[in-house]
A and B are shown apart, each in its own frame.
Chain A
């Protein structure tokens, strides 16, 4: 997840999926795509996300398509999971987050998932009570940062 979008050239089509606030974060890249005269499509989320139309919208896309999704932290993770399930790889998508970022932390001892605010560097695992040092090692399998033993 990033805080801003970066234009990736040489794709035959671009998708911009966001709510009103997220679209503002994508506006610079949308302008660049318009200037490059590439094909693009918008998908606007209104209110609580309705995932089925989003899933169907992504499902019909062909190779050579590049995806941008910009949503708040509560729902962006689910959008990413759906896009990956359909087949968008890390080289074919960017996920842009706004608002307070809450990171998921994987406990190295009990494998439980915890939440940590953006600036926290240590947390206590809610499941087993171990104090975890939050690493910058992100597991795409667990969709969480790995938490290592900080103190026994």
Chain B
């Protein structure tokens, strides 16, 4: 299977953060320093299994200046297709795996006078390195963090200890929910950042636009890509006439890579546009947040990591 350039690492330490969140400390197998990253960055992890790799993206939650090791946090998902379940039940200290070089689709704005982070659940993870960087620089920021309860609120103690003045917690079991009305209180020059479930991001983004925030002041990161309404298998025909079947539980990118097609990719979340390839024939069901509405309507290209065929067949230009 075709795979991007990766770094061999091993699991140095594992911590149970909450009942369903584990923290993993990763260090280089060769004892080297890992690449430096900017806050908000993530890595792809490649977990080897008998039938191939499980590839998942996780935000780097450690201090960007500390490159002797990386930290990621993994929440055990109820709907796990193997990724978080494998991390929670199979991975142990000393195990080796490969990770991608750090990538950042969610950087801090260098224009902001004040940064405000809205996190829901495990959406806290990209913000941990961001607030660390802002704190080190003496920049102005605040965090609004929604969770079901204190007990399941990952990094609660850490945030209370180090960023108590800037952190606001909302626990729904205590009937204390984060509200979009707080968006009205932020001073001019604020940039806002959202990370959490799709519904949470949509609600806050629409509210911010309704208040009059410019789009350039709103930054967001989905931790799962938007899913199409109906997921169906389909087939693609490549430039050299090869017919590739894309199963219901598989992305087009996965099918291409499985068939040794050197398809480009990076984020696997429909955000960065690296995997965009031309479509010569067929109707596309776009699920990405990269192409503009006009580009989507033109039906000329597809982001293979998330989008699928609306018609049963696509002819692609790769």
**A87–B211 touching, CB < 8 Å:** no
Give every chain A residue within 8 A of B217 (Cβ-Cβ): 63, 89, 91
Q: Is A91's CB under 8 angstroms from B186's CB? A: no
Give the interface residue-count category, chain B.
Answer: 20 to 34
* Residues from chain A with Cβ under 8 Å of B212 in the complex: 10-13, 63-66
B213 to chain A, nearest CB (A): 5
Contact between B214 and A87 (Cβ–Cβ < 8 Å)? no
CB distance from A45 to the nearest CB of B (A): 20
- Taking CB atoms and an 8 Å cut-off, the chain B residues in 206-262 that contact chain A are 208-217
Give Cα A88 to B214, complex, Å.
Answer: 10
The interface stretch among B61-69, B88-96, B187-195 is: B187-195
Contact with A along B131-164 (1 / 0, CB 8 A): 0000000000000000000000000000000000
For the complex with contacts A91-B215, A92-B214, 20 further pairs of A-B residues with Cβ separation under 8 Å are A10-B209, A12-B184, A12-B212, A59-B187, A61-B187, A62-B188, A63-B183, A63-B184, A63-B187, A63-B188, A63-B190, A65-B212, A86-B113, A86-B188, A87-B114, A87-B187, A89-B189, A89-B214, A89-B217, A91-B214
**8 A Cβ contacts from B250-303 to A:** none
Give, as a whole number of angstroms, the nearest-CB distance from B34 to chain A: 34
Contacts of A66 in B (CB 8 A): 212
Across-interface contacts of B186 in A (CB, < 8 A): 62-63
Could you mark each residue 74-111 of chain A with 1 if its beta carbon is under 8 Å from any beta carbon of chain B, else 0? 00000000000011110110000000000000000000
Residue of A with least CB distance to B187: A62
Q: Which residue of B lies closest to A64 (CB)?
A: B212
Contact surface of B with A, Cβ cutoff 8 Å:
111-114, 183-190, 208-217
Nearest CB in chain A to that of B215: its residue: A91
**Shortest Cβ gap from B216 to chain A (Å):** 6
Assess whether A87 is in contact with B216, with CB atoms less than 8 Å apart.
no
Known: A63-B183, A87-B113. A92 touches B188 (CB 8 A): yes
For the complex, give the distance between the alpha carbons of A62 and B189 in Å: 8
Collect the chain B residues with CB atoms within 8 Å of residue A64's CB. Answer: 184, 211-213
Q: Is the CB of B211 within 8 A of A63?
A: yes
User: Which A residues are in CB contact (< 8 Å) with B213?
Assistant: 63-64
User: Which residues of chain A are within 8 angstroms of B189 by Cβ–Cβ distance?
Assistant: 86-89
Contacts of B187 in A (CB 8 A): 59, 61-63, 87
A58 at interface, CB cutoff 8 A = yes
Interchain CA distance A13-B184 in the complex, whole Å: 11
Q: Which residues on the A side are within 8 Å of B190 (C-beta)?
A: 63, 87
Task: Give the nearest-CB partner of B183 in chain A.
Answer: A63
Do the beta carbons of A12 and B188 come within 8 Å of each other?
A: no
Chain B residues positioned under 8 Å from A61 (CB to CB): 187-188
A65 nearest CB neighbor, chain B only: B188
Cross-chain contact B188 with A91 (CB below 8 angstroms): no
Q: Give the docked Cα–Cα distance between A88 and B189 (Å).
A: 6
